[in-house]
Amino acid sequence: MIELSPLARPYAKAVFSAALDIGKQGEVAKELSTLSSISQTKEVTSLIADPELSKVEIAETIVSLLQDDMGDISTKMIELLAENKRLNLIEAIYTSYQELLEEHNKTSSIVVNVANQPSDQNKAAIVEKLSASYGEGSIIEFSEDSSIMGGLSIKIGDETLDLSIRGKVKKLVNQLNF
């Protein structure tokens, strides 16, 4: 499958710049989130892929689905994507836009994978350390993953810090194989 991020990034930057100019970064993020969600549905995916419809008709249909929830920037983005035959980039544009918004707000989305939910005291300590390192406004989410066996794995953007037992075992196996 083709990596869509490089294709989506220029669109995301343009949308972010336009939203920043009018001070509506948060509103546009919500609109893009909604667009991203509906673009993954079976109905919209088949609509985008329908060879019998013109790209303008597809764009008008998508805009009409969310007419009350879309501002000018998002509407123009959909029209531009349709014109350039890039409607398949909606989800990747939303992801890139979120990264730009987090960078602008000096925050991060952090996912902490744990084998078992930590106690409230341990959770508070983890949140405190991560907030101090990555910004007070960082969104920290805890997720249970029993396959890590113990410890934790922290995913920040596209980087992962693996402090799990599974990660340590893999590292040990790799060292033994060389």
What pLDDT sits at residue 2? 60
What pLDDT sits at residue 121? 92
Number of domains within the chain: 2
* Domain span at 142: 108-177
Q: How would you list the strands of the sheet with 109-114, edge to edge?
A: 139-144, 109-114, 151-156, 159-164
User: Residue 19 maps to which CATH number?
Assistant: 1.10.520.20
Q: Within this chain, do residues 98 and 24 fall inside the same structural domain, yes or no?
A: yes
Q: With beta carbons less than 8 A apart as the criterion, state whether 117 and 38 touch.
A: no
27 token code pair:
């509103």
Which of helix, strand or coil describes residue 84? coil
Last residue in a domain, options 52, 70, 104: 104
Q: Within this chain, do residues 54 and 92 fall inside the same structural domain, yes or no?
A: yes
Residue pLDDT tens, the chain, 178 long? 467 778 888 988 998 888 888 888 888 888 888 888 888 888 888 888 888 888 888 888 888 887 777 888 888 888 888 888 888 888 889 888 888 887 887 777 788 888 888 888 988 998 888 888 877 777 888 888 888 888 888 888 778 888 888 888 888 898 888 7
Q: Within this chain, do residues 9 and 66 fall inside the same structural domain, yes or no?
A: yes
Last residue in a domain, options 61, 80, 104: 104
Q: Within this chain, do residues 89 and 134 fall inside the same structural domain, yes or no?
A: no
Spatial separation of the C-alpha atoms in residues 89 and 16, rounded to whole Å: 15
Q: Within this chain, do residues 57 and 132 fall inside the same structural domain, yes or no?
A: no
What pLDDT sits at residue 1? 42
User: Residue 118 maps to which CATH number?
Assistant: 3.40.30
Q: Within this chain, do residues 80 and 120 fall inside the same structural domain, yes or no?
A: no
Q: Is the dihedral of CA 162, 143, 166, 5 positive or negative?
A: negative
Q: Within this chain, do residues 97 and 148 fall inside the same structural domain, yes or no?
A: no
Q: With beta carbons less than 8 A apart as the criterion, state whether 164 and 113 touch.
A: yes
Which of helix, strand or coil describes residue 15? helix
